[in-house]
Every structure is written in C-alpha cells, then in structure tokens.
Amino acid sequence: MHDKRIPMPDEITLRPERPLLAAVTNLGAWTTESIQAVGDFGVFMFSVLHWIIRGPGRRSARDTFAQMYEMGTRSIPVVMITGGFIGAVLAIETYPQFHQIGIANRLGGVIVVSVVKQLGPILTAVMLAGRVGGAMTAELGTMKVTEQIDALRTMAADPVRTLVVPRILACVLMTPVLTTYSDAVGILGGWAVAVGVEGVRNYPFWHYAQVGTDLYAINVGLIKSIAFGIVIGAIACYKGFRCGAGAQGVGRACTESFVTSFCIILVVNFILAVAFNNIFVILWPNRPGLL
C-alpha cells in the first residue's frame, strides 16, 4: 500500500524547533479557515435569499406557520418572565438615585426608554438564541448526522427551501412580536415596583414615560429585533447544517450556535444603536436626544 497522505496543517505546526514557521503556518491556516467559513456562510445565505425571493411554496408556508407557533407562541411565557423581572429590577436599582436628587417621578421615562430601545430587544433575542436557536441547531444537526438532510436531497427536495427558509422566516416574523410582549411586561414590571413598592405616583410615572419615549424609540427597538431574528435563524440553521459527526458534533454545533449568535447580536446592536442615533440627529437636528 503506497502512502498518499498529505501532511495536515496541525502536523506541520508540531515542530518546536521552528516556532516562527509554526506561528506563520497557524496564522495562515486560521486565515484560510476564517475566509472559507465566511464564504460558505455567504453561499448558504445566498441560497436562503434565492428561495425566499422565488417564493417558499405552499408547503413551506405551512411549515413556516408551524415554526412560528413552535418558536414564537411557545416562547411567550419565558420572554414575558425575562422582560417583567428586568423592568422590575431596573426600577429597584434606579429609584434610590433618582429619589436622592428629587426626580423619582421621572422613573417612568428612564425605565420605558431603556426597556423599549435596549433591554427588551436584546434580552428577547438572547433568550430566543438560547431557547429557539439552540433547539433549531440541535434538530437540524441531528437531521444532518442521521442523513435526513441527504435523504431530502435524494428525494429532490431542496433542504434549504424545505428546512431553512421556514425557520428563518419564523424567526424574522416572531422576534419583533415577542419583543413587543417583552417590552410591555417589562414596562409593567417597572411600573409595579416604582408605583407599587417605591411609592411613585401613577400620573407622573406614565406622563414621563410618554414624554421620554416616542415612536422613533419604539420603532428602533422593533427594527433591531427584526435584525436579531435574522441573526438567530440564520446562524442556528447554518450551524445545524454544518454540524460535525455524532452526538458530540451536535453538542458542539449547539454551543457554537448560541455563542456566535449571542456575540453577533451584541455587535449588531451596537452598530444599529450608533446608526439610529445618527439618523435621529439628521432627521431632527434641533431636538434633544432621548434622555
């Protein structure tokens, strides 16, 4: 038997006598892998976009509704609990400081704007990345490992159209809806603590809530949540489709899916926050920023 093996990059790097070469090789391998991964993800997303534009078809539309129920409706309780407690804790932490300088009445403003612009969308997205993204990666990864995705292809059913498009559409449609729930319960949580526990009166709470927030803030939150929905769905499906072999592969894909989408959600949030604040200044140059 003649040996046809080509040394792998990690074998080349195992040469302690030439550390510089090893470092360069490592860097090269890492760079190539990263570029390949980005390219691969790009191709994947292109195919998703292709099927969304071509129309997912009646069957995929039905699958999309099933996914919307699975990921959306069934996530409502957990999203509401998260939102409610965040609103409440926000009130608890801010009340003493506001009270000290005599502006406890303005508590409503800071709570509502924080929840609507930042905490609501972000926490809902993180919650969904864990609950829904993890489940989607695990499901698709298991399908990959047990050759169900290959089986789809042999039956002339495009796996991206059949499996990915309904899931991403469901994420994009349901994340803003869930964010609305989270926002509403978050505001109520803050209100319950501020008014019920700390003794802020109802009228100033809601008055400042209204003054401090406008439609722009609410829309920014919702537009962000749409972006987060795309991130969650796309990364969860991609990681599931590129899952390694066996139970370990599925486990690793799930972890990577959550960690990657969590990080990208935070980065996207930052970029959108900067962008929307700049847009605000361009649209209304004479208006003061929100709080």
Partner 1 sequence: MASPDEKSNSPIIRFEDVHKRFGPLVVLDGLTLDVFADQTTVVIGPSGVGKSVLLKHIVGLLRPDAGRIYFHDQRIDTLGERAFEPIRKRIGFLFQLGALFDSMNVYDNVAFPLRRQGGKSESQIRDIVHEKLAVVGMEGGENKMPADLSGGQRKRVALARAIAMNPEVILYDEPTTGLDPIRADVINELILKLKEELNVTGVVVTHDMASAFKVADQIVMLFNGQIVARGSADQLRSCPDERVQRFIQGRADSEELKALNRI
Q: Which two tokens stand for residue 154?
A: 């042999």
CB of 151 to partner 1, least distance (A): 4
Report, in angstroms and rounded to the nearest whole number, the Rg of the chain calculated over CA atoms: 24
Q: In this chain, which of 23, 151, 197, 279 binds partner 1, going by CB under 8 A?
A: 151
Q: Position of tokens 């399908």?
A: 143
Q: What is the largest CA-CA distance in the chain?
A: 86
Q: In this chain, which of 8, 49, 247, 267 binds partner 1, going by CB under 8 A?
A: 8
Please tell me whether residue 4 binds partner 1 under the rule CB under 8 A.
yes
Nearer to partner 1, 51 or 181 (CB): 51
- In the range 84-143, which residues lie near partner 1 by CB under 8 A? 143
Q: In this chain, which of 1, 245, 282, 283 binds partner 1, going by CB under 8 A?
A: 1
252-284: burial string, b at 16+ Cβ within 10 Å, e else? bbbebbbebbbebbeebbeebeeebeeebeeee
CB of 250 to partner 1, least distance (A): 14
Binding footprint of partner 1, residue count (CB under 8 A): 19
**Beta carbons within 10 angstroms of residue 14's beta carbon:** 10
Please tell me whether residue 286 binds partner 1 under the rule CB under 8 A.
no
CB of 70 to partner 1, least distance (A): 10
DSSP-based three-state secondary structure for 232 = helix
Q: Residue 125 — φ and ψ, nearest 5°?
A: -60, -45
CB of 245 to partner 1, least distance (A): 12
* CA–CA distance, 3 with 8 (Å, rounded to integer): 14
Please tell me whether residue 156 binds partner 1 under the rule CB under 8 A.
yes
Q: In this chain, which of 20, 53, 155, 283 binds partner 1, going by CB under 8 A?
A: 155
CB of 28 to partner 1, least distance (A): 16
Stretch binding partner 1 (CB under 8 A), from 15-23, 155-163, 168-176, 233-241? 155-163
* CA–CA distance, 200 with 34 (Å, rounded to integer): 53
Let me know: does 225 contact 121? Beta carbons within 8 Å: yes
The residue ranges that bind partner 1 (CB under 8 A) are: 1, 4-8, 59, 143, 146-148, 150-151, 153-158
